Structure 1
Amino acid sequence: MSSLASSHQIIVTGATSIVGRFLLPRLLEAGYEVHAASRKRNETPGTTGKLLWHQVDISCPEQLPKLNATVLVHLAPLWLLPPLLPILDSLGVKRLIGFGSTSLFSKADSADAGERQLAARFALVEEAIGSACGASEIDWTVLRPTLVYDCGRDKNITQIARFIHRYGFFPLLGNARGLRQPVHADDLAQACVMALSQPITFNKSYNLSGGETLTYRQMVEKIFGSLGKPARLVTIPAWMFRRGIEVLTLLPGKRSVNPEMATRMNVDLCFSHAAAARDFGFAPRPFLPVFTQWDDLQK
């Protein structure tokens, strides 16, 4: 156990996120006194040690708990972090880790204006974090995951599994040969704990991809296998797929879906995690989806 872990309180914002589910137990095991901040209180089963929940809306920085914490892990959207930095500086925080996204790169040239804006937003936020933390002498690290999954709550792999579970097939655009590197939320939690006390990670950003590179088609085939179902893949022409997406956006809760999501089935979205492996031993698992909560697939 590092001296950092044994002698410091730690604040975790966005603690009820899919990464938070795995991170909180790991921090407690490492000896931290964990102060979990979220809009909704949510006890985490199976944890030991000192875990304290604070119900706050971090879009209002003044609601942050007044603690003597020197470490913050920010799991909420990265753009909510810069407004918190003056408060964190006043509390004496000297180390923080935030989670961004490789969308910073993959959506920068998207045909969809909203996706381009998202990529630009990530870039501006990272720049703002570096500038503000430099002025406050806070050592920061930004971790950028690729396709995050946890086989239950994620909006990527679980959404595909839910469609397969309901309809028994999955539509693909063309050959769906675009490469993917799904990364498990628990591997991201472990990466966070490993990087916290490593000075070599200070004031840097890291791409975190999964331990296996496979095509979109192969990824979907593995999801079929994890559900115990034969892979029934329906290849659909581009024009029909786009029309289907346009119709889907008319349904409640589906307005965020856009045709670019389909087009990317044939685009490589790969990012090396070699720097993270070198600096703090990041070693993610291969893609092995396991669904144990069938109720999650009924939603």
Structure 2
Amino acid sequence: MPLALVAGASGAVGRFLLPRLLDAGYEVVALSRVPRADTQPRLRWVIGDLDREVPAPSAPDAIFSLGPLDGFARWFARAALDGRPRVVALGSMSIDSKRDSSDAGERAVVERLHAAEQELAAAAVRRGSAWTVLRPTLIYGAGVDRSLTPIARFAMRWRVFPRLPGARGLRQPVHADDLAAACLAVLGHPASHSRIYALGGGERLGFDAMLERVRASLPVSCLPLPLPIAAARTMARLGWAPAAAVERLERDLVADDAAARADFGWAPRGFVVAADTWRAP
């Protein structure tokens, strides 16, 4: 029976990847920083921190990194592992969308992501392991994401919903379950070895239209709270809003995922949301 180690297993993508791995016949070791109960056969949770110590199995067949890439790359470079585990790691499209950001902190994140990808690739080459990095766009769908779910929950709590008329930069939200399917799919496609893929959802829509679809999915009525793009720019100039984020409201942040479609059959769903999209399991 093949063995998979999953780092970041309790996050948005991990919540969908674990059952997919079990259905595919894997024994799964899931890494968490807090204690969790083993609720299913062939699934074992272990407590560990990639920056300190991880009680990982010595010879996994596959390793999935679903959390911060830099911490995983450092761990993988030094971990005592037997064999040549297949490695699939999530990066971020921020490496492209924030490369020329006016915010020094965001540019530092880009540098860190780029360095992590290089370190992971180098460590995999030394071990003789095949590796793949997936760079998703905006992730949603598990009720634990840090992008759209906080907006939805704010609206449901306070019964007001922010609207940004004029924020027409295209977005391509990608469902966490589609990313979980991609993590599993690349294992069976040698064309994905030593490759980095941009992954976006199956629909491109303006930022303002994306928010409106979130509002329409909520189970409660919310008072619209318009914030025209001109007002957002003024707030940014006054230091009341993050300037770099406001700048991106009118920019297209989408993925060219043709290579993923060709190499491992990437076919994500459109942006269809409902009230349960925003509830954590």
2:169 is aligned with 1:178: yes
Confirm or deny: 8 A CA contact 2:5 2:57 kept in the other structure.
no
Confirm or deny: 8 A CA contact 2:139 2:176 kept in the other structure.
yes
- 2-structure distance, mates of 1:225, 1:174: 16
Residue by residue over 1:201-225, the C-alpha shift from the partner in whole angstroms, topping out at 9 and shown as x without a partner, is 1110111101110001110110111
RMSD over aligned Cα atoms: 2.3
Q: Superposed, which structure 2 residues align to 1:166-245 within 5 Å?
A: 166-173=157-164, 175-228=166-219, 229=221, 232-236=224-228, 237-242=231-236
2:240 is aligned with 1:246: yes
Q: Which moved more, 1:223-232 or 1:22-31?
A: 223-232
In the TM superposition, residue 230 of structure 1 has moved relative to its aligned partner by 6.8
- Name the residue aligned to 1:163: 154
- TM-score by length of structure 1 reads 0.85
Among 243, 264, 269, which residue is 1:280 paired with? 264
Letter in 2 for 1:126: E
- 2-structure distance, mates of 1:43, 1:265: 42
2:122 is aligned with 1:128: no
Other structure's SS at 1:58 match: coil
Confirm or deny: 8 A CA contact 1:187 1:284 kept in the other structure.
yes
- Name the residue aligned to 2:43: 51
Confirm or deny: 8 A CA contact 2:163 2:211 kept in the other structure.
no
- Name the residue aligned to 1:63: 54
Letter in 2 for 1:227: L
Letter in 2 for 1:270: V
Structure 1 residue ranges without an equivalent (≥5) = 1-6, 248-257
- Name the residue aligned to 1:251: none
- Cα 1:225–1:245 change in 2 (3 A) is farther
Report how many residues are paired: 277
Letter in 2 for 1:51: L
- Name the residue aligned to 1:27: 21
- 2-structure distance, mates of 1:185, 1:118: 22
2:255 is aligned with 1:261: no
- 2-structure distance, mates of 1:244, 1:266: 19
Residue identity over aligned pairs, in percent, reads 40
In the TM superposition, residue 57 of structure 1 has moved relative to its aligned partner by 1.2
- 2-structure distance, mates of 1:239, 1:126: 34
- 2-structure distance, mates of 1:292, 1:57: 31
- 1-structure distance, mates of 2:77, 2:166: 49
2:64 is aligned with 1:73: yes
- Cα 1:184–1:127 change in 2 (3 A) is same
2:7 is aligned with 1:13: yes
- Name the residue aligned to 2:275: 291
Other structure's SS at 1:189 match: helix
Confirm or deny: 8 A CA contact 1:58 1:64 kept in the other structure.
no
Residue by residue over 1:15-48, the C-alpha shift from the partner in whole angstroms, topping out at 9 and shown as x without a partner, is 1111111100000000000011111133487xx5
- 2-structure distance, mates of 1:271, 1:218: 18
- 2-structure distance, mates of 1:130, 1:268: 29
In the TM superposition, residue 77 of structure 1 has moved relative to its aligned partner by 0.3
- TM-score by length of structure 2 reads 0.90
Other structure's SS at 1:289 match: coil
Letter in 1 for 2:152: A
Structure 2 residue ranges without an equivalent (≥5) = none
- 1-structure distance, mates of 2:80, 2:188: 19
- Name the residue aligned to 1:146: 137
Confirm or deny: 8 A CA contact 1:173 1:241 kept in the other structure.
no
- Cα 1:129–1:120 change in 2 (3 A) is same
In the TM superposition, residue 151 of structure 1 has moved relative to its aligned partner by 5.0
